[in-house]
Chains A and B, each alone.
Chain A
């Protein structure tokens, strides 16, 4: 027959195992969700950087088309937001001659750096802009001035 003490020890082992299992499962589930969210954020950061670059690059053509400033050219683009299923993530975009950098600095710290060529001779760009904002480019003195 079994002893009473033996049941309690085995019960303890089972309980400890369950606790450890729940802890490990919970941690791993959280990490998986974090990884997936990170991947989603990165995907949207890339989309923002690429679409903003597309918008700016296409503005270059106006310089060649309208060298004599025969029209008041102006074009706007609303930069998308970064959204997860549960919330909207604030992000900042740093613009320079050589790169478009999208930064998320909240529960997640994720940066996406996209190498571009936006020469200062052609563009006047804001150094920083937030996601969700509208960027407007106008053709002034043979330059594309964006705000």
Chain B
């Protein structure tokens, strides 16, 4: 320890050291805080993406809303990736939690009941997916369906859709 001629330590050195230590502490805390904030916000985005992906899967593979081919009484076959225009779309059947809002728009299709009709915010995180979906108004029989797969038909028409999901405030 260096002392001056009055027997005192060189205070300025100590002061600098203390200031540097405090500065180092502050930097470490700031970095930790930023890391934790980033991790939390990343977690929210990850949650939103997973909710969105699940909803999209539920929309595309939902036997409640999809188109069916019939082959005799009690013999209905669901066609994945389709939607019937008189469907009822609810947040529940798309597995969207109550604290999230959604907007489902399929061009040229007016759904009978669509709970996913909130207006998407202009700011904040939004899950958005554009997709192509087959649309029908009624069920059809097996022979019509088989003809459709060979040469196309009017029973199932290709439509463009957009699904948006975001966290409600």
Contacts and interface: CB of A to CB of B under 8 A. Distances in A.
Nearest to A54: B54
Interface size class, chain A: 20 to 34
A84 B118 CA distance: 40
A120 to B, nearest CB: 13
Nearest to A21: B21
Interface in A19-65: 21, 25, 28, 32, 35-36, 39, 42-43, 46, 50, 53-54, 57-58, 60-61, 63-65
Given A57-B54, A114-B97, A2 B78 contact: no
A115 B98 contact: yes
Contacts of A58: 54, 57-58
Given A61-B58, A65-B78, A117-B95, 4 more contacts: A2-B7, A32-B28, A58-B58, A116-B95
20 contacts: A1-B7, A2-B3, A2-B6, A3-B7, A10-B1, A10-B9, A28-B25, A28-B29, A32-B32, A36-B36, A42-B43, A46-B43, A46-B46, A53-B54, A54-B54, A58-B57, A61-B58, A61-B61, A64-B78, A117-B98
Of all A-B residue pairs in the complex, the 4 with the closest CB atoms, nearest first, are A2-B7, A64-B63, A57-B95, A117-B92
